[in-house]
Structure 1
Amino acid sequence: MRILFDARFTRTDHHDGISRYGASLIAALAATDDVVMLISDRRQLALLPEVPHVLINSPLSPAELFVAARINRLEPDVVVCPMQTMGSWGRRYPLVLTLHDLIYYQNPAPPSFLPLPVRALWRLYHLAYWPQRLLLDRADVVATISATTAELMRRHRLTRRPVLLVGNAPQPTRRRRDPAAPRSASLLYMGSFMPYKNVETIVRAMEALPGHTLHLLSRISPARRSELEALVPAAGRVVFHDGVTDAEYEDLLGGSTALVTLSRAEGYGLPLIEAMAAGTPVIASDIPIFREVGGTAALFVDPDDPGALADAVRSLDDPGRWAEASRAGLEQAATYSWAESADQLRDACRRAVGEFTRRRTPRPFRASSRASSRASFRASSGRSGP
């Protein structure tokens, strides 16, 4: 199967969640299928596997409205986009679009890296569900990364198309922790600093955790950093890394007490599964998506209670409890893999081909059927004659 994968959402400097999701799926699919990538910037190739590619317009360009005309000429068996915004007007190919989450309906602030006009449209778009329905119903199949999001889509009736799971997964880790090895009193947070991430509560919890250090790993704007620095308790220790490499992240995971996240909403929560894959315990807010991803391995707490977070951290000071959480996390992480996700996407592609063919195959019109229907009508109404 010749799969054209839209890789234009790949970052040019470092992966974010969607960028890594797409790149990882491409790499896993390319092991067995004929995969061609769409890119919009040659710098994206540094973060993508060595797969044939075609350079086209940015997905944020006005030319996106007519991108299907260009893709038609490439004659793919199926097109996969890791977002739902790909242009499709005039397409002559099966299409799989992806919806990761519904976070921005409750948290409408758009990502800061988007251009100002796009951010304005983003806010308008999330004022109601009907624009999302229009986008998703342009696909033959809609993929999503979690059962939690699939249920929300069903609840809000977001699409008439088949919705299939194409899950996220951790990156292969070079090492797994020895539960008996020494560890530092470090806590890690990996993720953005948008309001719904609720990093404030993590920072406030440090008042009850003397001797522990909170490491905030992701890039952060100066304004947001100042807001959080103002919340650091006098006795609390908080380190702002403003971005780490994959190797630095792995080193920090390899020696810390736990990864913590108190987000109020997520589409998946990739840092949870990454930490568990390394054998690092996870403390997370008690929300449905984290229950799905963390299973029974994570320690769940009330996201509005800094004291509950502190209690969970202190419970891991016991070596036996820490080792138990580490082993449970390794087992939970083993249930996810990019190979399995690629199999799920392959199934979604086959389903899209079937749906595309079914909807575009004209139904045969038979005169005899029409005559039979007329005769039945005349009989039931007591009419006779022509």
Structure 2
Amino acid sequence: MKIVMDARFTRTDFHDGISRYGSSLIEATAKIADVTMLINDERQLQLLPEVPWIKVNSPLSPMELFVSRKVNPLNPDAVFTPLQTMGSWGRKYGLILTLQDLIYYQHPEPPGFLPLPVRVLWRLYHKAYWPQRLLLNRADLVATISWTSKRLIEEFRLTQRPIRIIGNAPQPGKTPRDPVISPEKTLIYMGSFMPYKNVETMLKGMSDLPDFSLHLLSRITPERRTELEALIPQGARVIFHNGVSDQEYDDLVLRATAVVTLSKAEGYGLPLVEAMTLGTPVVVADTEIFREVGGDAASYVPAEDPAAFARAVQALAEPEEWRRRSVASLQRAASYSWERSAQALLSMAEEAAQLHRVRR
């Protein structure tokens, strides 16, 4: 199969969720198929695998409507993009569009790094479902990253196209911790600080965890940090890292008692799988997606209950319970891999190519 994979959502400084997902899937798929990447900035290459590429317009450019003019000469069997906005006019190939999740329909506040006009359109777009339907029905197949997202796409009838799963996965080659060695009394949060992430409830729960420290790893604006610092209970230990390297992230997770999140909405929850891959237990909000990802390995608490959050952490302070959860985490994480995801994409590419030939 000859597959073109859209890498234009790759960042130029450090990976976010979409950026890492696309890069990792490209690297795994290139081992089993003929892959060419689309980029729009050569600085993206520093975060991408060594795979053939061509440079085209930005996905946010008006020229995106005609991007197939650049893709058609590559004669791909299928094109995959990790989002749903890729132009499709005049295409001569099977097209796989991706809807990662439906978070922003419930929480329509756009990411702050987007330009103001894009943020305005983002908010308006997520106030109705019909624009999503118009986008997705241009594809031959629609991909998503979890069964939870697939169910929601079907529930809201967002596409008439078949929906398939191409799951997320942790980075390969990680060495898990020894469950016999007791953890530090630290808790790790990796994620944004948008309101739906519900960091506030974890901060409140720290009032009942005087022996623990909570490490907030992601980059944060000064304004948002000031808001959250005002909520830290007296005597609680909360450390803002404002960004960490991949190695620093692993080092912190390998020593911690747990990785924690009380996010009210996720498309997948990659930090859970990353933690479990290293043998670190997770304490998470009791939501459908976290149940899907964490299975029997995770500890679940009501998202708005800081006392329940504290009790779940305190339970992991018991050595036997922590070791049991650590072993269960490793077993659960073994079910996720980029090799499986690449095979799923290859199957989708074959199906999309066939569907496109039939429609033509």
Give the TM-score normalised by the residue count of structure 2.
0.99
**Would the aligned equivalents of 2:174 and 2:277 in 1 still touch at CA under 8 Å?**
no
* Equivalent residue number for residue 312 of structure 2: 312
User: Which digits, 9 at most, give the CA deviation of each residue in 1:266-324, with x for residues without a partner?
Assistant: 00000000000000000000000000000010000001000000000000011000000
Task: Give 1:12's aligned amino acid.
Answer: T
Could you tell me how far 1:182 is from its partner in structure 2?
2.7
User: Which digits, 9 at most, give the CA deviation of each residue in 1:150-199, with x for residues without a partner?
Assistant: 00011100101010010111112431111111321000000000100000
**Would the aligned equivalents of 2:213 and 2:236 in 1 still touch at CA under 8 Å?**
yes
* Equivalent residue number for residue 84 of structure 1: 84
* Equivalent residue number for residue 55 of structure 1: 55
* Equivalent residue number for residue 353 of structure 2: 353
In 2, Cα distance between the equivalents of 1:134 and 1:174? 41
* Equivalent residue number for residue 171 of structure 2: 171
- Matched position secondary structure for 1:143: strand
Q: Does 1:151 align with 2:151?
A: yes
Could you tell me how far 1:56 is from its partner in structure 2?
0.8
In 2, Cα distance between the equivalents of 1:338 and 1:86? 23
Closer, same or farther in 2 for the Cα pair 1:249/1:304, shift >3 Å? same
**Would the aligned equivalents of 1:99 and 1:143 in 2 still touch at CA under 8 Å?**
yes
* Equivalent residue number for residue 274 of structure 1: 274
RCO comparison, higher one (Cα < 8 Å, 6+): 2
In 2, Cα distance between the equivalents of 1:113 and 1:172? 29
Give the TM-score normalised by the residue count of structure 1.
0.92
* Equivalent residue number for residue 264 of structure 2: 264
Could you tell me how far 1:72 is from its partner in structure 2?
1.4
Structure 2 counterparts to residues 11-160 of structure 1, below 5 A: 11-160=11-160
**Would the aligned equivalents of 1:173 and 1:278 in 2 still touch at CA under 8 Å?**
no
**Would the aligned equivalents of 1:206 and 1:233 in 2 still touch at CA under 8 Å?**
yes
Task: Give 1:125's aligned amino acid.
Answer: Y
**Would the aligned equivalents of 2:277 and 2:334 in 1 still touch at CA under 8 Å?**
yes
**Would the aligned equivalents of 2:182 and 2:319 in 1 still touch at CA under 8 Å?**
no
**Would the aligned equivalents of 1:6 and 1:81 in 2 still touch at CA under 8 Å?**
yes
- Matched position secondary structure for 1:279: coil
**Would the aligned equivalents of 1:215 and 1:238 in 2 still touch at CA under 8 Å?**
yes
User: Which digits, 9 at most, give the CA deviation of each residue in 1:74-113, with x for residues without a partner?
Assistant: 2211110010000111111110000000000110001111
In 2, Cα distance between the equivalents of 1:279 and 1:130? 43
* Equivalent residue number for residue 193 of structure 2: 193
User: Which digits, 9 at most, give the CA deviation of each residue in 1:238-273, with x for residues without a partner?
Assistant: 000000000000000110000000000000000000
> Size of the alignment, in residue pairs?
360
- Matched position secondary structure for 1:254: helix
Runs of 4+ in 1 over 3 A off after TM superposition: none
**Would the aligned equivalents of 1:173 and 1:277 in 2 still touch at CA under 8 Å?**
no
In 1, Cα distance between the equivalents of 2:73 and 2:114? 30
In 1, Cα distance between the equivalents of 2:123 and 2:90? 27
User: Which digits, 9 at most, give the CA deviation of each residue in 1:7-37, with x for residues without a partner?
Assistant: 0000111111111110011110111211000
Structure 2 counterparts to residues 286-297 of structure 1, below 5 A: 286-297=286-297
**Would the aligned equivalents of 1:217 and 1:240 in 2 still touch at CA under 8 Å?**
yes
Task: Give 2:218's aligned amino acid.
Answer: S
Task: Give 1:97's aligned amino acid.
Answer: L
* Equivalent residue number for residue 205 of structure 2: 205
* Equivalent residue number for residue 373 of structure 1: none
Task: Give 2:344's aligned amino acid.
Answer: Q
* Equivalent residue number for residue 339 of structure 1: 339
Q: Which runs of 5+ in 2 are unaligned?
A: none
User: Which digits, 9 at most, give the CA deviation of each residue in 1:97-155, with x for residues without a partner?
Assistant: 00000000110001111111111110111111000000000000000000000000111
* Equivalent residue number for residue 4 of structure 1: 4
In 2, Cα distance between the equivalents of 1:74 and 1:343? 22
Task: Give 1:130's aligned amino acid.
Answer: W
In 1, Cα distance between the equivalents of 2:149 and 2:359? 26
Structure 2 counterparts to residues 240-259 of structure 1, below 5 A: 240-259=240-259
Q: Which runs of 5+ in 1 are unaligned?
A: 361-386
In 2, Cα distance between the equivalents of 1:310 and 1:264? 17
